[in-house]
Chains A and B, each alone.
Chain A
């Protein structure tokens, strides 16, 4: 066995020797035969196959014993692998030679430096390049956004976009290229040339041009002097104006103003004589000023100053006078210019005073109301409110005195006011004998009223309160034999000022008090700013007009207990059985009532029924009335058939002029109370109706409106027709439309050409190409 193995190993050794020899052969016979080389490779493969037979796939590493030109990559020996090659190892042999010291130094320096990170791979770099380039391009392109948007939304686009300049050469250019041919032309040109007249460019002779340009010395001087004078005058005037403006004296300004007014009046008088038309215009101006004054709150003693004066007015005569002055100014300004009889003028004045009063009263009412939430305040039903409007007597006279008189106040307000004042006086004298009224004089005197209109106003307010008070006291007398002490009279007035009195019911103990409560609630309701209510009042007031005393009586009658009981208000019910339970119940009901009021008018069923009734009515065929104006009467435009004709409808006429519509078939929804079946729908019309709302429209009425506006020339003027029918895109036949350019839309196009940019950065361009070129040259 051992001998056998030995023989084998020997064989292998000899083979190896052969192998080692082979390269040498190869070296020699490299050019001669390729077959040998091939054989060697085959042999090697065989060896590899054999070596891989013993299970482990290991490659036998060939040893390189001799140098050869071509080294197979498989034959590279990796002996001593695992050891790292270190720079120091390489440098070791260099140690001795001193001439390489510098190199060594450099190398050591290199060693100390950190290694640079690996560069990104090519794909990654390209991707980054692309992204950057894309962002750049996108930015460049975004400048077109507004242009594109504008063009898309444009009403009309006319192509080609760039304006073609008409090729009209100026006459001089044409002339220069033109030659005189005919004898006449030649003659003319000869003449022109002889007299040195210009033929081309500037059509003026040099002399003419010079004369045009120049200005004589005298003229120039004159102009200068003129300018100087004008400037001096202006400065004088300015200085004067400044001086005058600085004067603080009121008297001076008053005088100036008066003077101006006088002057204006004089001028106006003169104008009236000379030029009536202009005067009329002036008048109109004055009228306008009056209107403005009437509209504004100026001079109405309502400003800050006026209020402060009003406080002082009682004690300070001067302040009173100042206020009066302001009022008189207002009067003057609001006076109508047509001067008529004195009395009328006076009345106008009083009217104005009335007008002055009105806004304050209104404000007062609002002030009363705007404190608490109206919904929370309410404790009565709407029915009681209506009753309240009838029942409360105090508010009405006041309303009549102020609110109504505003609209139609002529003589009535004055009279009423007088009456009120008188009453007021009487009351006062009754209650406090000792106290002397400030306005004790008969109220009729106009002067006092004018002077102290502010006072009058305040007095009136007091009066109205007093009147209320009075009424309550009277009623109390009527109900409870007048046992209530005097002190209670005073009570309601302060209560009136307090809006939140809902907590009161707990404290109620007597019937009288309850009654009072009801009344007060009524008052409060009255005070609420409800437009409907006010409307009712204004409607009602004319009925209650006749006379103040009469009215009063009426009101007294209205406010009796019975009347109160008949109204089905919860508050009245509570009158009968004043228990706490009832009150709670009442509260609940109030709440419900409140909600009901909030959603008032949402009666769905009734609405539906009403709708159905209307639909039925609409679908019924109508009678045709053929009565015409004319025919036995006067004819003409805008005439109606005479009343006689319309009224009288005997059988003959009826048959002649009024065509009775035939009874239609019964409606399909006749027996279906909850359904409305539309019988108008025409299936034949469906083909001509749009079923779905088209895209750009968001609501059907938009679409309908576009359809309903006609665009034809039958309905529109020529200009409008042209405008309505302008096409969106206009192209001219035979004109080339070029792509839009940056210059067309006012952008500056890039100055550099694309080509030059390419040539400037050729870095990446040529790399690939260079390779190709090389290849080509090699081929």
Chain B
């Protein structure tokens, strides 16, 4: 008599090697896994809560400067190297991994107004209140040598800012006019002006490298074409723009940090209306820098906080502040888009994570979980409970109260406008959109 037995094929359940994952048969029948929406909702809720729990963005504070930090620069080829210039004319080079200062140079008398690195990272340039432009070697001097600049250019007026070309041995300074310099010469190869006020900052376009943008204290932003040696267009805003920054992924987009607490993202081809008005700060915005991915930017403000804005949103997604951080003067987003540095009045450079709750160094499973949580948060972001938790931030009392105040003021203004429209002849009072409100004029 034949006896029938249960038999299994070992191929179905035995691993080929010890390193293989165990095969886990799963049944995806939806009937066996009910309540998918409520379950995912709860998961999303938990993920959101955990995100807030683990949101600890502050990494390190680099101290050593003996005066407020006025400018920052990234090394183009080394992630860990950062340069900073202070209000007492001192330039320091920092190592971020070791979190210490590796070199100190007394570069100028008075403020270091601007600092920029050469595109290859071998040297850097500084401008100061002493009307000089100095070029320095990135590596320190040999033992026994003195710290000496490679070149020094003595100008006639104070230079307030400097930026280096992204590909060639050309740099631009600003002050009374925008000067374009060849590194080899002591005279500018080109200088461009439009108006008579002092220009506070100049920036090269990183993609179409012949384009420059500058902002002056007579409230305007001027664009220049270096190749045609001519200004292109000027836009005048409500208040002074402190600095601008070009989007590194979108050639014609730049963002301006304005005194009126807002940031304006412009398409340089259509300056009459900003693409987006970013408002959340409660004091003048002093500096702005794009993430290298071009999706977000960080802004430093006089209100002692830095904020991260998505490019296409008008509200910030994150605000960073500490008790000891004073007016933030300069801010930079590192080239791997993971960290943010900010230099402030109280002589410190602070290092932050760009994503507050991001865990550094993930295993693949952790990565999968992170991605899943991220997607869940995205999926359920409109649910009120989740939205409330995700948006909650603790703020210093001063900022908080100022926000309330601003809100009241804004509401009052809005109400007044609405009333005016309501009580006047239809069509006589035009309804001006928020975007158009801040642009005074565009000059050709």
**What is A's interface to B at a CB cutoff of 8 Å?**
126-127, 129-131, 133-134, 136-138, 140-142, 144, 148, 151, 157, 159, 687-691, 694, 703, 706-708, 710-717, 721-722, 724-727, 729, 731-742, 753-755, 757-759, 761-762, 764-765, 768-769, 772-773, 776
Contact = CB atoms under 8 A, between A and B. Distances in A.
- Give the secondary structure class of B's interface: loop
A708 B30 CA distance: 12
Contacts of A710: 36-37, 39-40
B293 A159 contact: yes
Contact of A734 (B169, B190, B336): B336
Nearest to A692: B382
Nearest to A706: B379
A588 to B, nearest CB: 47
Interface stretch (B124-132, B141-149, B246-254, B341-349): B246-254
Contacts of A733: 336, 338, 360-361
B207 A144 contact: yes
Contact of B372 (A694, A725, A757): A725
Interface stretch (B224-232, B404-412, B415-423): B224-232
A583 B170 CA distance: 100
Interface string B164-184: 011111100000000010100
Nearest to B180: A758
24 contacts: A127-B444, A129-B228, A130-B232, A131-B444, A134-B225, A134-B232, A137-B208, A141-B252, A144-B250, A159-B337, A687-B385, A690-B384, A721-B372, A727-B375, A733-B336, A734-B79, A736-B79, A738-B292, A739-B207, A739-B249, A754-B226, A755-B170, A758-B189, A758-B227
Contacts of B252: 141, 144, 148
Given A688-B385, A712-B40, A754 B230 contact: no
Contacts of B335: 736-738
Contact of B295 (A144, A713, A729): A729
Of B190, B233, B379, chain A has the most CB atoms within 10 Å of the CB of: B190
Given A137-B232, A148-B250, A736-B335, A715 B208 contact: no
Contacts of A127: 444
Contacts of B140: none
A736 B444 contact: no
Contact of B30 (A715, A717, A724, A753): A715
Interface residues of B, number: 73
Contact of A130 (B249, B295, B444): B444
Contacts of B379: 706-707, 711
B191 interface: yes
B292 A737 contact: yes
A208 to B, nearest CB: 39
Interface in B359-418: 360-361, 368, 371-372, 374-376, 379-380, 382-385
A159 B250 contact: no
Given A137-B211, A755-B168, 13 more contacts: A130-B232, A136-B228, A141-B269, A144-B250, A148-B250, A727-B375, A736-B77, A737-B337, A738-B335, A739-B207, A753-B168, A758-B189, A761-B229
B196 interface: no
Given A715-B36, A739-B248, A758-B226, A768 B206 contact: no
Given A736-B336, A739-B249, A754-B226, A134 B444 contact: yes
Nearest to B361: A733
Contacts of B374: 725, 727
A694 to B, nearest CB: 4
B384 A754 contact: no
B206 A739 contact: yes
Contacts of B336: 731-737
Contact of A757 (B169, B210, B251): B210
Contacts of B338: 731, 733
B36 A754 contact: no
A757 B295 contact: no
Contacts of A715: 28, 30, 33, 36
B190 A758 contact: yes
B209 interface: yes
A753 B40 CA distance: 55
B207 A741 contact: yes
Given A687-B384, A689-B383, A736-B79, A727 B206 contact: no
Contact of B227 (A131, A725, A757, A776): A757
A242 B66 CA distance: 99
A475 to B, nearest CB: 64
A538 B228 CA distance: 85
A350 to B, nearest CB: 51
Given A708-B37, A740-B249, A773-B187, A140 B208 contact: yes
A689 B384 CA distance: 7
Nearest to B387: A690
A134 B233 contact: yes
A754 B383 CA distance: 52
Contacts of B385: 687-688
A73 B379 CA distance: 83
Contact of B229 (A148, A742, A758): A758
Nearest to B382: A694
Contacts of A759: 189
A736 B269 CA distance: 29
B57 interface: no
Contacts of B229: 758, 761, 764-765
Nearest to A759: B189
Contacts of B361: 733
Contact of A716 (B28, B37, B167, B376): B28
Interface in B279-301: 292-295
B230 A133 contact: yes
A754 B191 contact: no
Contact of B231 (A130, A727, A734): A130
A761 B40 CA distance: 64
Contacts of B209: 754
A716 B40 CA distance: 13
Interface string B97-133: 0000000000000000000000000000000000000
Nearest to B210: A754
B43 interface: yes
B41 interface: yes
B167 A753 contact: yes
Contacts of A726: 371
Contacts of B380: 707
